[in-house]
């Protein structure tokens, strides 16, 4: 039994060495009420975050505010880009209940030659966090990377 567990650990470690690592996780921010969706990456590229609310309105770089209260808090672009971690963040302080959909688009390289880059998505709903890693390819929009639901306010009450 012990040898089998060790063998699996060695196999998992060997496989992990061959996979491209996702961007390093930054220090987590303290939990906030509402909904926060954060896209993080480190490559010299312009990734774009799209979050569609239950009314089917999408918050993204060309629509930074939605009627439901969604705001694109951070938009990273090639212009003025600094080295290191890049972040795009959408937020609702009083999110309407229903289904939300998250997409990622690899719009352009920022003078580099990257065709595919790793990213991390962090979704936080009333302090409960979910993290997902993925890879984006140049000029290949991923319209649905993740989907989540926000419960009605009465159902979110802690008793």
CATH number at residue 40: 2.60.40
- Boundaries of domain holding 134: 30-153
Q: For residue 131, what are its two tokens?
A: 């993290």
Whether 19 is covered by a domain: the verdict is: no
Please, which pLDDT band fits residue 12 given cuts at 50, 70 and 90? very low
Q: For residue 125, what are its two tokens?
A: 């709903």
Whether 2 is covered by a domain: the verdict is: no
Whether 25 is covered by a domain: the verdict is: no
Q: Can you give the pTM of this predicted structure?
A: 0.76
pLDDT tens digit sequence for 43-61: 999 999 999 999 999 999 9
Whether 9 is covered by a domain: the verdict is: no
Q: How many domains does the chain have?
A: 1
pLDDT tens digit sequence for 112-139: 778 999 999 999 999 999 999 999 999 8
Q: Label residue 124 exposed, middle or buried (CB < 10 Å: 0-12, 13-18, 19+).
A: buried
Which of the residue ranges 75-89, 93-107, 142-156 has the most confident prediction, judged by mean pLDDT?
Answer: 93-107
Q: Residue 113: its pLDDT value, please?
A: 77
Distance CA 74, CA 87 (A): 7
Whether 8 is covered by a domain: the verdict is: no
Whether 159 is covered by a domain: the verdict is: no
Whether 6 is covered by a domain: the verdict is: no
Whether 103 is covered by a domain: the verdict is: yes
């Amino acid at each position: 039994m012990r040898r089998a567990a060790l063998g699996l650990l060695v196999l998992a470690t060997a496989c992990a060495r061959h996979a491209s690592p996702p961007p390093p996780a930054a220090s987590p921010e303290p939990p906030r009420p509402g909904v926060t969706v954060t896209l993080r990456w480190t490559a010299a590229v312009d990734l774009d975050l799209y979050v569609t609310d239950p009314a089917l309105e999408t918050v993204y770089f060309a629509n930074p505010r939605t009627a439901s209260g969604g705001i694109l808090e951070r938009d990273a672009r090639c212009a003025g880009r600094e080295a290191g971690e890049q972040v795009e963040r959408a937020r609702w302080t009083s999110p309407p209940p229903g289904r939300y959909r998250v997409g990622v688009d690899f719009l352009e390289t920022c003078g580099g030659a990257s065709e595919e880059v790793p990213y991390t998505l962090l979704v936080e709903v009333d302090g409960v966090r979910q993290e997902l890693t993925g890879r984006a390819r140049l000029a290949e929009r991923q319209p649905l990377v993740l989907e989540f639901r926000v419960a009605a306010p009465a159902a979110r009450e802690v008793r």
